[in-house]
Amino acid sequence: MSLSVRPRLSPRSWLLILAAFILPRLALLCLSLAGHFDLQSYVMVQRAMHAGQPLYANPALEGRYPYLPPWAWVLQGLGWLGLQTGWPAWVVVKLPALAAEAGIVWLLAGAGGLPAALAYALSPLSWVVTAGHGQFDAVVLLLLLAPALSWGRPGWRAGLGAGLWLGAAIAFKSWPVFVVPVFFASAGDRRAAWGLLLIALALPLLCLLPYVAAEGLGPVAARLAYGGQPDVFLTEALVQGSYVWAPAAWLLRWWQPAAFGLLGLAWLGAWTRGRGVVRGLALQLLLFLILAPAVGVQYLIWPLPFLALQRPALAWRYSLAAALPMLGYYLLWSPEALYAGWPLGLVQRTVALQGVWIALNVLGWIALIFIGLASRAADTER
DSSP letters of 117-165? HHHHHT-HHHIIIIIII---HHHHHHHHHHHHTTTT--SHHHHHHHHHH
Residue 286 or 117, more confident: 117
Greatest CA separation for the chain: 60
Averaged pLDDT for residues 170-190: 88
pLDDT of residue 237: 56
Inter-residue contact 322 to 361 (CB < 8 Å): no
Phi-psi category of 342—alpha, beta or left, where left has phi over 0 and alpha has psi -120 to 50?
beta
* pTM given for the model: 0.86
DSSP state of 268: I
pLDDT of residue 4: 46
DSSP letters of 317-357? HHHHHHHHHHHHHHHHH-GGGT-TT--GGG----HHHHHHH
The neighbour count for residue 194, using CB atoms within 10 Å, is 16
Q: Which of 152-156, 165-169, 263-267 has the lowest mean pLDDT?
A: 263-267
Q: Which of 114-128, 224-238, 247-261, 331-345 has the lowest mean pLDDT?
A: 247-261
pLDDT tens by residue, 22-78: 999 999 988 887 667 888 889 899 888 888 899 998 888 888 888 999 999 999 999
C-alpha angle with apex 329: 328 to 334, nearest 5 degrees? 120
Q: Is the pLDDT of residue 177 over 80?
A: yes
The reply to whether 49 falls in a domain is no
What does the alpha-carbon distance between residue 309 and residue 126 come to, in Å, rounded to a whole number?
A: 15
Domain assignment of residue 208, given as a range: 150-226
pLDDT of residue 381: 44
Q: How does residue 380 score in pLDDT terms, banded at 50, 70 and 90?
A: very low
What does the alpha-carbon distance between residue 306 and residue 146 come to, in Å, rounded to a whole number?
A: 11
The neighbour count for residue 329, using CB atoms within 10 Å, is 22
What does the alpha-carbon distance between residue 53 and residue 343 come to, in Å, rounded to a whole number?
A: 37
Residue 346 amino acid letter: L
The reply to whether 58 falls in a domain is no
Cα 136 from chain centroid (whole Å): 8
Q: Is the dihedral of CA 77, 79, 80, 82 positive or negative?
A: positive
The reply to whether 194 falls in a domain is yes
* Percent of the chain surpassing pLDDT 90: 35
Mean pLDDT estimate for the chain = 81
pLDDT of residue 263: 52
The neighbour count for residue 24, using CB atoms within 10 Å, is 18
pLDDT tens by residue, 275-306: 578 888 888 888 777 776 667 788 889 999 99
Q: How does residue 126 score in pLDDT terms, banded at 50, 70 and 90?
A: very high
User: What length is written for the chain?
Assistant: 382
The reply to whether 19 falls in a domain is no
Number of domain units in the chain = 1
The reply to whether 247 falls in a domain is no
* Percent of the chain surpassing pLDDT 70: 77
The reply to whether 301 falls in a domain is no
DSSP letters of 92-130? HTTHHHHHHHHHHHHHHHHHHHHHHHHHHHT-HHHIIII
Nearest to 179 by CA among 225, 229, 144, 215: 144
pLDDT tens by residue, 185-200: 888 889 999 999 999 9
